[in-house]
Structure 1
Amino acid sequence: MPLIILIIGILFLFFLIVKVKLNGFLSLIIACLFVGLAEGLPLMKTIATIETGFGGTLGHLGLIIGFGAMFGRIMADGGGAQRIAETLIAKFGRKQVAWAVAFTGFIVGITLFWEVSFIVLIPIVFTVAIAGGIPILEAGIPMLAAITVSHCFLPPHPGPVAVSGIFHANIGLVLIYGIIIGIPTLVVSGPLFYKFINSIGVNPEMKKGLAISKIFKEEELPGFGISVLTALFPVILIVVAMIAEFILPKEANITKFFSFIGSTDMALFIALLVSIYTFGTRRGKTIPEIMKSSEEAAKAIAMILLIMGGGGAFKQVIVDAGVGNYVAKITSGLPISPLILAWLITALIRMCVGSSTISLFMAAGIVLPIVEQSGISPELMVLAVACGSVFGGPPTEPCFWLVKEYFNLNLSQQIKVWCGLCTLIAVLGLAGVLVLSLFIH
């Protein structure tokens, strides 16, 4: 019965988002109340659970989202992303432009949210396509694959970070395992997948009159080295902290210092401060100009923050109602890997509600007892859930329509391109997790 109520709750959430057209935050809170009360939680306990889940999630992720949005805006306004792209394309050459765009998207996407990465890179994709005389999807699909793989596998993206916290996984190991799985996944789902799409005749014309961001002149751009260093700065700090934890005494002050600067929120905060210099004052901008861009970025993420908090509240309702324990109990005897089970649960939720973020939170609450009881690597479980959260690319997510409109695709083409891409990444990612599980316990 608890699982049936949860399924009804998910369908109800789907109905509110798709049919009623309520935004994700309001839909999540209504679904929280429905599931909590239907599962037998007292009214005041349900409200307290929602508050706990909402506050507990934003207490940590609010900083990450805020810092990340500001960092991405300053990087875009300072020309850093464009410099990275143009340099790599010049090095790779016209015939290998798809690989150049893939690696550019991977570098940029490591530290930026999916939507921010898309907006930063889409004018560069258009510029590359026009200048090189190539089909828009030859540059577009590798870019989409790169930022989706980064969003799915790599901290400091909020999804992997949030699930790592729920599963008590080592964030540094999640990053390393994510890179190991992510690179081959990107190769197949990017340039190679484009060749398949091109072979079946999907070749849209570039959309006319589409407003795009500023393209900088050569003399306005920062150097390649400083652009890459700034973009990767959060990742560098996280990796350094992880190495220090392994090689230095745990109680030493230097270890504590590295742990401090290598925590996800502090790593992004420090990178934000660095970017203010490298992409701001060093380029002749004033602090008020930089702060104006930062404030605009912060305003743009208000609903993202609410949806993240609502997702955390839904997760907490599932946990407090005992649904996760019930699922763990009925699935513990199934002849199926906990990693595959976690992926399936997340993928099913993803297809119902659309949002990758909501899917992550809901699935994390359901499979948490499985993580605790199975003894499986929590880092691999994080990645299994993350892979499931991008499955399908359903039309209930805003990214579906963003990609469709920017790349001028009809509905049939969009299903082949975007839905096919997301499904491929999810399946390849799961395969990578299962391979790693043969060596990691």
Structure 2
Amino acid sequence: MTLLPIIAAVVLLVLLIAVLKAPPFVAFIISALAAALMLGMPLAKIPASMEHGIGDLLGSLAGVIILGAMFGKLIADSGAAERIAESLTRLFGQKRFPIAMTFTGFIVGIPLYYNVGFVLMVPLIFSITYRAKLPAVYVGMPLLAGLSIAHGFLPPHPSPTALVTQFGADLGTTLIYGLIVGIPTLLIAGPLFSTTLKGIVGAPSTLFKPSDTRSTDLPGAFNSFVCALLPVILIGIATALAYSPGLSPEQKSLIGFVGNPTIVLLLSVVIATVALGTARGRPLGEIMEGFGTAVRDIATILMIIGGAGALKQVLIDSGADVQLAGLLQDIPLPPLMLGWLIAFVIRIALGSATVAGLTAASLVHPLVIATHVDPNLMVLAVGAGSLMCSHVNDSGFWMFKEYFGLSLRDTFRSWSLMETIVGLCGLVFVLMLSLFVG
């Protein structure tokens, strides 16, 4: 029976990561090998299948993810992220700090990977907290909600970008849908939810008490906003132009080239290197050193994505994907809700949102083909499920607890509940959007 080997492989994956603390790449490879053997694949074909899966998934993603890491590193090191936060805070005023922090997290979260954005923004949160004499959790939660939503829903972040490839979705369309779903989710999980957190008072270490940053050392607000949002702007323009009537084949080809995610990010890196770097007097060698650090930091994520590709390909080459599609179709749930639920269960078991999303995609992929569900919406549904219920097996849970000096109870009450609201609202808005575009 096909279902039992697949369940056994997923359970093995959970045990290897959660119990034995194996590196996710190694856990994926072992689980893919076990699945192939249990599914009766010929021994001679197993290595080739796994290698094909790794190369197939990484081949289309490596450039996007590496360039995205370089771009995010530049946004962080140049001070553009801090300038964005300062500008939004000044625009909205102290009475609307949660709204300012919400949009800061969302805008900064587009180019920055989650952990980088978290570490970068925490000193800013405490700087505002000390100046305004407001509870740190109340100020910080909307910003962290913005980071989380960008991480789960918006390319070029690794997980949604990988899901786009897994499901055969369109990156530009997914980005537009992600904004449509993400913004109302953000308003609920950010400023609205934060109003319930004023009573939570943490005891952060003095280590996190910020030093004053000279505003004159930061890039200008216009420069910072334009550079940080440049990938979104370019992809959005290219996607909109692609639907314009009367385009010649040459024009379509040019739009497709310029709108390719790798080309978009390459252009963004080059422009930001000048606008935020050399034009402001930063040595080119220093910028390139930062790029090298970013590439090293992203290696683990690339390995995880490659391992997920091996598991996916084994399921395809063994024929299990067709049988699995038939089994999943019999479950009395809409495909989008089922994809969300599978990602949710794996998230609870493993902790990592990226691993949960990619594992769920391997299982749900045949259902997308069989039911003709909109793959762009499935990317968002799985992404929403992968953010659900962050708890003690998630590194983000502990980062939040320790940085903000909270008890376990208050961490569950604030952080875990925020992530759950993001996952639930994300699903609701995806289902609502499917009524119009599905």
Superposition TM-score, scaled by structure 2 size:
0.95
After superposition, where does 1:146-157 map in structure 2 within 5 Å? 146-157=146-157
Question: For each residue in 1:351-391, what CA deviation from the matched residue of structure 2 results, as whole angstroms up to 9, or x when unmatched?
Answer: 22222122222211211221112122221112111111111
Residue of structure 2 in register with 1:87 after alignment: 87
Taking a change above 3 Å as real, the CA distance of residues 348 and 318 of structure 1, as seen in their structure-2 partners, is farther
Q: Deviations over 1:153-198 (max 9, x none)?
A: 1122222222222222222221111111111110111121122233
Once the two structures are overlaid, the 10-residue window that deviates more, 75-84 or 311-320, is 311-320
Matched, 1:127 2:123: no
* Number of the residue aligned with 1:378: 375
The equivalent position to 2:218 in structure 1, one of 216, 221, 227, is 221
Q: Is the 2:127–2:209 contact (alpha carbons within 8 Å) kept by the matching residues of 1?
A: no
Gaps of 5+ in 1: none
Instruction: Give the 5 Å matches for 1:303-318.
Output: 303-318=300-315
Distance in 2 (alpha carbons) for counterparts of 1:177 and 1:118: 24
Q: 1:316 to 1:211 in 2, by over 3 A?
A: farther
Equivalent pair of 1:189/1:425 in contact (CA under 8 Å): yes
What is the distance in 2 between the residues matched to 1:332 and 1:16? 29
Deviation at residue 120 of structure 1 after TM alignment = 2.3
Secondary structure in structure 1 of the residue aligned to 2:262 = helix
Taking the TM superposition and a 5 Å limit, the aligned residue runs for 1:24-423 are: 24-198=24-198, 201-210=199-208, 216-249=213-246, 251-423=248-420
Alpha-carbon distance between aligned partners in 2 of 1:84 and 1:75, rounded to the nearest angstrom: 10
Deviation at 1:330, TM superposition (A): 1.8
CA contact (8 A) 1:10 1:353 kept: no
CA–CA distance in structure 2, aligned partners of residues 323 and 135 of structure 1: 52
Alpha carbons of structure 1 residues 161 and 92: separation in structure 2 relative to 1, 3 Å: same
Per-residue Cα deviation, 1:69-93 (whole angstroms, up to 9, x for no partner): 1111111111101111001101111
CA offsets per residue over residues 199-237 of structure 1, 9 Å max, x none? xx432122221487x864111111111110000100111
Contact 1:249 1:255 in 2 (8 A): no
CA–CA distance in structure 2, aligned partners of residues 317 and 169 of structure 1: 21
Q: Is the 8 A contact 1:79 1:216 kept in 2?
A: no
**Shift in Å, 1:129:** 1.1
Aligned-pair CA distance for 1:248:
5.0
Give, in whole Å, the separation in 1 of the partners of 2:212 and 2:297: 22
> Is the contact between residue 78 and residue 283 of structure 1 (CA under 8 Å) also seen in structure 2?
no
Three-state SS of the structure 2 residue aligned to 1:222 is: coil
CA contact (8 A) 2:158 2:301 kept: no
Q: Deviations over 1:378-421 (max 9, x none)?
A: 21112111111111113323222222222222222222222211
Choose 397-406 or 179-188, whichever is displaced more.
397-406
Deviations, residues 410-436 of structure 1 (Å, cap 9, x unaligned): 222222222211111111011001111
Judge which range, 313-322 or 285-294, deviates more: 313-322
Could you state the TM-score of these two structures normalised by the residue count of structure 1? 0.94
Question: By how many angstroms is 1:238 displaced?
Answer: 0.6
Q: Distance in 1 between matches of 2:23 and 2:433?
A: 38
Amino acid across the alignment from 2:147: I
C-alpha separation between the residues in 1 aligned to 2:420 and 2:323? 29
Spell out, residue by residue over 1:319-370, the C-alpha distance to the aligned partner (whole angstroms, 9 max, x if none): 3333332232123234321111111111112222222122222211211221
Deviations 1:96-149, CA, capped at 9 Å, x for gaps: 111101101111111221112212222211211111111111121111100111
Describe the shift of the 1:302–1:334 C-alpha distance in structure 2 as closer, same or farther (beyond 3 A). Answer: closer
1:437 corresponds, among 424, 434, 438, to 434
State percent identity of aligned pairs.
Answer: 39
Question: 1: CA distance between counterparts of 2:310 and 2:16?
Answer: 17
